[in-house]
């Protein structure tokens, strides 16, 4: 968690915790974890208003619907998957992870066996040789659909068809397999090119009673169960009556906007990632939502244009990445004068920075609700509701 300097890594149950760096709270009970997060959020945001008690997860383990493994090879020639050691490019082998979906973990193990069996070369980052780089697995927690994305350094995969057949035979629960081409020397997992090897090339999942299509490159919240609580809180804060014009900024595949559409007159979504916007448009169709439209654009630029054109908006949902929003975006929201801004944040430190700017412009933070989307890790999500003081 950026800015969360006071939190120290704990020794504990997971053998990989120290090297992996993912789970800050190994060895702490879940109750203790929630207390620490509550204190952290209160410390940062308490000056803006009362921080409500954090919404903890019912099942704090094996919640991750997206699992990523980097391929490596040990001295004996065995293939393993793991994660990059914190601040390095060394791969720490991880066989069983406490927070990952167990179906995905099992598939990762099979991929290692099959990589050896099919003699697939493992990518070497330093030498830039080899083929197999990463595997990304996504599980639709409600639908049970499973997508396996094999990230390769080239589109040419030897024995592609036999590999696909064998993987499906071993894991009939897999609904789609995609080959993603990442030829670059980069820390980004996915390249931009996808070749469908099996199935539809995407999975679908349900959130808040709606169906969503998720493509390999689109953002999708990694804890589906807690996401529903997060969205319900956000929509509740917005206090929609059915008459409002709503903006869903940083909308991803349109999940917040779609969940709000039934209670609003119109929803406008804006998102930078082209694939996510395509999914968002499809999602509106799948759910027969006729009052929602999407723009593939930088949210800041979109907001500036809305303000310059004297457009009108009643509620702005904003859910930026960890880096937070921008003064450009916030200044334009201020000009637009919506009745409410509902800010969903995955980093309380950047949220604090952005709230300062809102407050300086005459806004008041009315509600602050932390939600534990990422048990065992140092991350915490917060929903806040802002209103203009004199309007
Ligand atoms: N609201 C969505 C996505 C939140 S994640 C959900 O709940 O699933 C943040 C999203 O912001 C990502 O989809 C990312 O692609 C998008 N994003 C990042 N920078 C952006 C920018 N400058 N303008 C618009 N969208 C941006």
Query: Which one of 248, 261, 272, 317 would you pick to mutate in the ligand 1 pocket, going by the greatest count of ligand atoms within 8 A of its CB?
Result: 272
Nearest-atom number in ligand 1 for the CA of 231 is: 7
**Ligand 1 centroid vs 180 CA: distance in angstroms?**
21
Ligand 1 within 6 A of 271 CB?
Answer: yes
Please list the active-site residues: 346
Structure token pair of residue 370: 């932390």
Residue 169 neighbours by CB distance under 10 Å = 8
Question: What pLDDT, on a 0 to 100 scale, did the predictor assign at position 5?
Answer: 34
Helix (H, G, I), strand (E, B) or coil at 249: strand
Nearest-angstrom CA–CA distance, 38 and 32: 10
CB 218 within 8 A of CB 65: no
Ligand 1 within 6 A of 272 CB?
Answer: yes
Ligand 1 within 6 A of 319 CB?
Answer: yes
Residue nearest to atom 21 of ligand 1 (CA): 298
Question: What pLDDT, on a 0 to 100 scale, did the predictor assign at position 23?
Answer: 83
Residue nearest to atom 5 of ligand 1 (CA): 321
Question: What pLDDT, on a 0 to 100 scale, did the predictor assign at position 6?
Answer: 31
Nearest-atom number in ligand 1 for the CA of 346 is: 5
Ligand 1 within 6 A of 254 CB?
Answer: no
Ligand 1 within 6 A of 350 CB?
Answer: no
The DSSP output letter for 333 is: H
Q: Which helix (H) or strand (E) holds 108?
A: helix 102-117
pTM: 0.91
Rounded to whole angstroms, what are the CA distances from 10 to 74, 90, 210? 28, 21, 39
**Ligand 1 centroid vs 250 CA: distance in angstroms?**
4
Task: Give mean pLDDT in consecutive 10-residue pieces for the chain, a chain of 391 residues.
Answer: 38 69 85 97 98 97 96 93 83 90 97 97 92 98 98 96 98 98 92 97 97 94 97 98 98 97 98 95 98 98 98 98 98 97 98 98 98 95 94 56
Question: What pLDDT, on a 0 to 100 scale, did the predictor assign at position 391?
Answer: 56
Tell the residue number behind the tokens 């969940």, with chain if given.
Answer: 259
The DSSP output letter for 121 is: P
Nearest-angstrom CA–CA distance, 216 and 202: 7
**Ligand 1 centroid vs 42 CA: distance in angstroms?**
25
**Ligand 1 centroid vs 321 CA: distance in angstroms?**
6
Question: What pLDDT, on a 0 to 100 scale, did the predictor assign at position 3?
Answer: 39
Q: Is the dihedral of CA 371, 372, 374, 378 positive or negative?
A: positive
Question: What pLDDT, on a 0 to 100 scale, did the predictor assign at position 25?
Answer: 84
> What are residue 73's phi and psi, to 5 degrees?
-130, 135
Residue nearest to atom 6 of ligand 1 (CA): 252
**Ligand 1 centroid vs 270 CA: distance in angstroms?**
8
How many CA atoms within 13 Å lie on the side-chain side of 151? 25
């Amino acid at each position: 968690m950026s800015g969360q300097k006071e939190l120290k890594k704990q020794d504990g149950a997971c053998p990989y915790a120290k090297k992996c760096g993912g789970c800050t709270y190994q060895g702490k009970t879940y109750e203790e974890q929630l207390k620490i997060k509550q204190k952290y959020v209160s410390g940062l945001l308490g000056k803006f208003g009362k921080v409500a008690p954090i919404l903890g997860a019912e099942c704090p383990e094996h919640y991750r619907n997206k699992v990523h493994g980097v391929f490596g090879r040990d001295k004996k020639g065995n293939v393993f998957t793991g994660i990059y050691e914190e601040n390095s490019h060394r791969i720490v082998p991880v066989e069983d992870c406490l927070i990952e979906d167990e179906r995905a973990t099992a598939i990762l193990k099979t991929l290692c066996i099959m990589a050896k069996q099919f003699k697939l070369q493992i990518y070497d980052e330093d030498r830039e040789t080899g083929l197999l780089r990463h595997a990304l697995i996504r599980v639709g927690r409600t639908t049970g659909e499973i997508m396996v994305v094999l990230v390769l350094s080239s589109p040419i995969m030897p024995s592609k068809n036999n590999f696909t057949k064998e993987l499906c035979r071993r894991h009939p629960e897999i609904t789609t397999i995609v080959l993603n081409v990442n030829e670059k020397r980069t820390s980004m997992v996915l390249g931009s090119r996808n070749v469908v090897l099996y199935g539809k090339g995407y999975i679908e999942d349900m959130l808040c009673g709606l169906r969503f299509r998720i493509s390999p490159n689109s953002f999708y919240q990694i804890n589906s169960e807690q996401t529903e609580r997060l969205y319900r809180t956000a929509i509740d804060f917005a206090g929609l009556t059915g008459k409002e014009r709503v903006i869903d900024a940083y909308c991803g595949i349109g999940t917040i906007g779609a969940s709000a559409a039934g209670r609003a007159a119109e929803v406008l979504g804006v998102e930078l990632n082209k694939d996510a916007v395509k999914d968002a448009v499809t999602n509106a169709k799948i759910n027969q939502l006729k009052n929602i439209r999407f723009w593939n654009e930088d949210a800041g630029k979109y907001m500036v244009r809305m303000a310059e054109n004297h457009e009108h908006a009643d509620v702005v949902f904003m859910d930026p990445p960890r880096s937070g929003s921008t003064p450009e975006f916030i200044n334009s929201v201020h000009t637009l004068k919506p009745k409410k801004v509902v800010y969903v944040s995955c980093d309380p430190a950047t949220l604090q920075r952005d709230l300062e700017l809102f407050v300086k412009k005459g806004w008041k933070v009315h509600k602050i609700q932390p939600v534990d989307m990422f048990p065992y890790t140092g991350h915490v999500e917060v929903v806040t509701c802002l209103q203009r003081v004199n309007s």
